[in-house]
């Protein structure tokens, strides 16, 4: 077999994180040849880049991929390293054909196949699943005079631990679970101010991410049914994990509304007052990481691809999984990606089997 032939597949999955592995789990039973091209050095996807104390907000059995529940660990809510270990074991358990590290740079369309350019040469496939997630595309909002600010700015994607901020005055911007968790630990070593668009929504102490998922599911079903009344709350509500409860006990879990602009040494608030700031940690979410799809001319001004379920409308040999609700309800979560992955694999199997 020549090197060129060895890089021909029925299906190529771009991304070896939770979404790519879930699609691979279902494709392995299809009889189609496939490979998973992963840009990371080892298993675990974006979880390997998360800060060391990151904690999930659902128990292990509610944070699992298809086929094999995440084993219960030493904590009620799994820690980052437990998730990485689970994804590594999952990959090995099902002998998923992951190639790494392979950096995908571009996907091109030809009449007969899709061509995938990488730093290790070209691959070709009859179908491609993009499952690169969002970690490589952190979102930071634009503020007036932001470039003048002489302090540190970093996104939660690059945050590791609080010690780099010891003794400083730090703004934590963003009202979701990442903002609350990072605030909880940075506030132990620094003067931390939590900046949110509105008052954060906190779950009761005795409930966790399972409730968020149930509420989000009910909202999705209500929308599918024509906009019927849906419960309040969703996946962005703050779960009261132990570290967040401890922050509340210290009186830290309060927030202020956004500032209006930067200065060289800090920020100006809406009432005109100025504050000195040493650092800003942006916990403001992510965009889809789709630069590799730009050559197909299908990425819209909103950074998304028009899809029917998970299949690209303009390039029907391409599917997208794991980027959020627009590619399948809750598909950016460990437990939520199963439905999208299953339906995607089934659709690809039917499509390629008919050719």
pLDDT in tens, 183-218: 999 999 999 999 999 999 888 887 765 665 665 555
Residues 190 and 252 in one domain: yes
* Peptide bond between residue 101 and the one before it cis (omega within 30 degrees of 0): yes
Residues 24 and 132 in one domain: yes
Domain of 45?
A: 3-137+286-353
* Residue 223 lies inside a defined structural domain of this protein: no
* Residue 230 lies inside a defined structural domain of this protein: no
* Residue 212 lies inside a defined structural domain of this protein: no
How many CB atoms lie under 10 A from the CB of residue 53? 15
CATH code, domain carrying 58: 3.50.50.60
Question: pLDDT (tens digit, 9 = 90+) per residue, 88-140?
Answer: 999 999 999 999 999 999 999 999 999 999 999 999 999 999 999 999 999 99
Pick from 166, 145, 186, 148: nearest CA to 282: 186
Residues 10 and 116 in one domain: yes
pLDDT of residue 60: 82
What does the alpha-carbon distance between residue 126 and residue 46 come to, in Å, rounded to a whole number? 27
Backbone angles phi, psi at 109, to 5 degrees: -100, 135
Q: Is the pTM of this model over 0.75?
A: yes
Residues 269 and 294 in one domain: no
Residue pointed to by tokens 């409930």:
207
Pick from 43, 39, 34, 29: nearest CA to 8: 34
Residues 153 and 133 in one domain: no
* Residue 231 lies inside a defined structural domain of this protein: no
Residues 127 and 154 in one domain: no
Pick from 355, 350, 337, 352: nearest CA to 25: 337
Residues 251 and 278 in one domain: yes
Q: How many domains does the chain have?
A: 2
Residues 249 and 274 in one domain: yes
* Residue 226 lies inside a defined structural domain of this protein: no
Pick from 128, 126, 309: nearest CA to 118: 128
* Residue 23 lies inside a defined structural domain of this protein: yes
Residues 268 and 152 in one domain: yes
* Residue 194 lies inside a defined structural domain of this protein: yes
One digit per residue, pLDDT tens: the chain, 355 residues? 334 447 999 999 999 999 999 999 999 989 999 999 999 999 999 999 999 899 887 788 778 999 999 998 887 789 999 999 999 999 999 999 999 999 999 999 999 999 999 999 999 999 999 999 999 999 999 999 999 999 999 999 999 999 999 999 999 999 999 999 999 999 999 999 999 999 998 888 877 656 656 655 555 555 555 544 444 444 458 888 899 999 999 999 999 999 999 999 999 999 999 999 999 999 999 999 999 999 999 999 999 999 999 999 999 999 999 998 899 888 888 988 999 999 999 999 999 987 7
């Amino acid at each position: 077999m020549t090197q060129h032939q060895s890089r021909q597949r029925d299906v190529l999955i771009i991304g070896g994180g939770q979404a790519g592995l879930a699609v691979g789990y279902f494709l392995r039973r299809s009889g189609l040849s496939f490979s998973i091209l992963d840009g990371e050095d080892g298993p675990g996807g974006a979880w390997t880049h998360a800060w060391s104390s990151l904690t999930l907000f659902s128990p292990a059995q509610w944070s699992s991929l298809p086929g094999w529940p995440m084993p219960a660990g030493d904590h009620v809510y799994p820690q980052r390293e437990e998730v990485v270990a689970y994804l590594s074991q999952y990959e090995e358990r099902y002998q998923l054909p992951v190639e790494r590290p392979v950096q995908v740079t571009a996907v091109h369309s030809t009449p007969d196949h899709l061509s995938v350019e990488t730093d290790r040469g070209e691959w070709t496939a009859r179908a491609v699943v993009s499952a690169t997630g969002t970690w490589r595309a952190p979102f930071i909002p634009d503020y007036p005079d932001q470039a003048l600010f002489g302090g540190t700015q970093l996104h939660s994607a690059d945050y590791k631990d609080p010690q780099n901020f010891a003794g400083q005055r730090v703004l934590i911007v963003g009202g979701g679970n990442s903002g609350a968790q990072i605030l909880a630990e940075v506030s132990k070593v620094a003067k931390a101010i939590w900046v949110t668009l509105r008052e954060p929504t906190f779950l009761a102490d005795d409930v966790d991410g399972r409730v968020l998922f149930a509420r989000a599911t009910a909202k999705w079903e209500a929308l599918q049914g024509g906009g019927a009344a849906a419960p309040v709350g969703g996946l962005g509500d703050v779960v009261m994990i132990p570290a967040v409860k401890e922050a509340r006990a210290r009186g830290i879990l309060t927030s202020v509304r956004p500032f209006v602009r930067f200065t060289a040494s800090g920020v100006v608030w809406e009432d005109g007052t100025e504050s000195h700031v040493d650092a800003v940690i942006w916990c403001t979410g992510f965009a889809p990481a789709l630069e590799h799809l730009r050559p197909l001319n299908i990425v819209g001004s909103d950074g998304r691809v028009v899809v029917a379920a998970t299949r690209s409308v303009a390039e029907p040999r391409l599917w997208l999984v794991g980027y959020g609700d627009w590619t399948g309800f809750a598909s950016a979560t460990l437990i939520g990606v199963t439905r999208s992955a299953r339906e995607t694999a089934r659709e690809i199997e039917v499509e390629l089997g008919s050719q």
